[in-house]
Amino acid sequence: MEKPLIVDRGEGSYLYDVEGNRYLDGTSSLWVNVHGHVREEINRAIREQLDRVAHSTLLGLANVPSVLLAKKLVEITPPGLNKVFYSDSGATSVEIALKIAYQYWQQQEREEYRARRKFISLTEAYHGDTIGSVSVGGMDLFHSKFKPLLFETIHAPAPYCYRCPLGKNKDNCSMDCLKEVENILDRHHREVAAFLIEPLVQGAAGMVVAPEGYLAAVSKLCKRYNILLIADEVAVGFGRTGKMFACDHEGVRPDLMCLAKGITGGYLPLAATLATDVIFDAFMGEIEDFKTFYHGHTYTGNPLACSAALANLDLMEKTDFIGGLQEKTAFLANGLKRFLNLEHVGDIRHLGMMAGIELVEDRTGKSPYPPGANIGHRVILEARKKGLIIRPLGNIIVLMPVLSMSLPQLEELLSITFDAIQTVTERTDLT
Ligand SMILES: *Cc1c(COP(=O)(O)O)cnc(C)c1O
């Protein structure tokens, strides 16, 4: 086993290990960092809050940063999402959305609505590692072992165009996967509470980018069949796709939205599940009606985490962060083109500041490297030698630059990654 890298400190887009080596943070410390490490404005906000109070419970009480942040989240998320429920990780934000959606239908007057107990999600979906979020997940590698513990979920085929589950290709595809979604809804809508989706990009699946219009079409179908749409923006939210939220690209207004990862700028664990008034109102009633949503995590709405999130959003606003991202996303998109010159690059998928480079043993047949080749892992270790931290998903090399990364740093990210892929794949060809 290789020696573990032990991080000592960070600065902007770089991390330093305990031996003083410097690395570019090409994973945003697992898809979370927005403004770079040790950003003065966020540090200050946390310090100031620390001097007021580090934690007070949100069960029965409120605290100032949690109130201000809830207001802010309502302002910046798609119209209609007016209520905020806090928790502390992406997985919990999803659990909460699932439980709210389920209970929402259980509390309807019309008896037939109470049969709406199942969820639809996509194959290859990833929504977290708790049992509920695993139940709606679609990645066999992470999920198959736990099958006996999971609740039943209906899976629609992912829009994974490079390896289309319906066997289509660019020339004969008319988004047949949407037709499948429609068939499923038509068959199952009476028993379905909600459709859960990672909008535009299925991250952990390997940056599977949906074709344009797919998300809006799914949203429309959900409305037509009166099924709640849950947008899991845990990975894609807060600028990652080049807009504040992925739903913004197609004007989609989900009924529930899950937020985490980038919410605090990558500083502290915090998550939020947003809901519409219609959903919120279904939980109102007399005490003895027991319509309350009985769910609460001990550290929910933690003031330090909420302060970090407020400082993150404040910085985004003051620096026209989303506007400034456009040049970077164009640079990244352009810089990725050269990877097609590498013989073992099968597919390059990207949107905004997230990219996946799928490595294949043979490009014509799209045949994957065998797991034993450990190709992704070897590439990222090679990159590490050259001063870059990235993390693969199987045979897919993932690039998730810190959103504030400069153009020269993005070039560094691209060129080290290119060299690492070239070195490792050529070495493998020789053996
Ligand atoms: C990372 C991720 C999660 C889980 O978030 P955690 O904070 O790790 O629990 C859920 N959904 C998506 C889309 C994610 O990328």
Can you tell me which atom of ligand 1 is nearest the CA of 232?
13
DSSP 8: E
Burial class (CB in 10 A: 0-12, 13-18, 19+), 183: exposed
Quick: pLDDT tens for 276-318.
999 999 999 999 999 999 999 999 999 999 999 999 999 999 9
Residue at 36 is within a domain: no
Question: Residue 274: what are its φ and ψ, rounded to 5°?
Answer: -100, 150
Asked if residues 35 and 264 have their Cβ atoms less than 8 Å apart, the reply is: no
CATH number of residue 352's parent domain: 3.90.1150.10
Asked whether 358 lines ligand 1 (CB < 6 A), one says no
Mean pLDDT of 331-341: 98
120 CA → ligand 1 middle, Å? 18
Asked whether 235 lines ligand 1 (CB < 6 A), one says yes
Residue whose C-alpha is closest to residue 208's, from 251, 248, 179, 177:
177
Mean pLDDT of 159-177: 89
Residue at 87 is within a domain: yes
Q: Which residue type occupies 221? A: L
Asked whether 257 lines ligand 1 (CB < 6 A), one says no
DSSP 9: E
The verdict on 13 and 161 lying in the same domain is no
Residue at 61 is within a domain: yes
Question: Which runs of consecutive H residues, i.e. helices, occur in 12-63?
Answer: 28-31, 40-52
243: pLDDT strictly greater than 90: yes
The pLDDT of residue 1: 61
The verdict on 284 and 163 lying in the same domain is yes
The pLDDT of residue 320: 97
The verdict on 168 and 240 lying in the same domain is yes
The structure tokens listed for 210 are 């949906």
| Residue labelled with tokens 């990654």 | 417
Quick: pLDDT tens for 362-386.
999 999 999 999 999 999 999 999 9
* Contact residues for 99 (Cβ-Cβ < 8 A; gap 6+): 132, 293, 295
* pLDDT, mean over the chain: 96
Asked whether 91 lines ligand 1 (CB < 6 A), one says yes
The verdict on 148 and 100 lying in the same domain is yes
Pocket test for ligand 1, best of 126, 268, 354 (most atoms within 8 A of CB): 126
Question: Residue 177: what are its φ and ψ, rounded to 5°?
Answer: -65, -30
Burial class (CB in 10 A: 0-12, 13-18, 19+), 381: middle
| Residue labelled with tokens 């609460």 | 296
Asked whether 90 lines ligand 1 (CB < 6 A), one says yes
81 confidence band (pLDDT: 50, 70, 90): very high
145: pLDDT strictly greater than 90: no
Rounded to 5°, the CA angle 98-104-110 comes to 140
Question: Residue 426: what are its φ and ψ, rounded to 5°?
Answer: -70, -40
Residue at 220 is within a domain: yes
171 confidence band (pLDDT: 50, 70, 90): confident
Three-state SS annotation for 147-215: HHHCCCEEEECCCCHHHCCCCCCCCCCCCHHHHHHHHHHHHHHHHEEEEEECCCEECCCCCEECCCCHH
Quick: pLDDT tens for 209-225.
999 999 999 999 999 99
Asked whether 94 lines ligand 1 (CB < 6 A), one says yes
The verdict on 384 and 249 lying in the same domain is no
- As a whole-number percent, the residues of the chain with pLDDT over 90 amount to 93
Asked whether 95 lines ligand 1 (CB < 6 A), one says no
Mean pLDDT of 139-158: 89
CA-proximal residue: ligand 1, atom 5 (nearest): 90
The pLDDT of residue 144: 80
Asked if residues 417 and 399 have their Cβ atoms less than 8 Å apart, the reply is: yes
Among 318, 351, 370, residue at a domain's last position: 318
Q: At what angle do helices 214-224 and 176-188 cross, to 10 degrees?
A: 20
The verdict on 227 and 353 lying in the same domain is no
172: pLDDT strictly greater than 90: no
Q: Which residue type occupies 43? A: N
CATH number of residue 305's parent domain: 3.40.640.10
Residue at 430 is within a domain: no
Can you tell me which atom of ligand 1 is nearest the CA of 133?
10
Among 318, 342, 377, residue at a domain's last position: 318
Residue at 37 is within a domain: no
What is the Cα–Cα distance from 28 to 358, expressed in whole angstroms?
Answer: 20
C-alpha torsion 338→339→340→345, nearest 10: 180
Quick: pLDDT tens for 12-55.
999 999 999 999 999 999 999 999 999 999 999 999 999 999 99
The pLDDT of residue 309: 98
Rounded to 5°, the CA angle 388-391-392 comes to 130
The verdict on 333 and 311 lying in the same domain is no
Number of domain units in the chain: 2
3-state secondary structure of 394: coil
429 confidence band (pLDDT: 50, 70, 90): confident
Asked whether 355 lines ligand 1 (CB < 6 A), one says no
3-state secondary structure of 422: helix
Tell me which residue range forms the domain holding 418: 7-31+320-425
431: pLDDT strictly greater than 80: no
What is the Cα–Cα distance from 124 to 122, expressed in whole angstroms?
Answer: 6
pTM, 2 dp: 0.97
Asked whether 73 lines ligand 1 (CB < 6 A), one says no
Residue at 76 is within a domain: yes
The verdict on 283 and 297 lying in the same domain is yes
Can you tell me which atom of ligand 1 is nearest the CA of 260?
7
What is the Cα–Cα distance from 298 to 171, expressed in whole angstroms?
Answer: 52
* Paired sense of beta strands 345-351 and 271-276, if any: unpaired
Asked if residues 7 and 27 have their Cβ atoms less than 8 Å apart, the reply is: no
Mean pLDDT of 228-247: 98
Asked whether 200 lines ligand 1 (CB < 6 A), one says no
Can you tell me which atom of ligand 1 is nearest the CA of 128?
4
Among 293, 318, 343, residue at a domain's last position: 318
The verdict on 314 and 327 lying in the same domain is no
The structure tokens listed for 260 are 């985490």
23 CA → ligand 1 middle, Å? 24
The pLDDT of residue 127: 97
The structure tokens listed for 290 are 């027991």
Chain Cα centroid distance, residue 266: 13
| Residue labelled with tokens 């709210």 | 100
The verdict on 19 and 55 lying in the same domain is no
Asked whether 262 lines ligand 1 (CB < 6 A), one says no
Residue at 244 is within a domain: yes
The verdict on 16 and 139 lying in the same domain is no
The pLDDT of residue 170: 79
The verdict on 68 and 91 lying in the same domain is yes
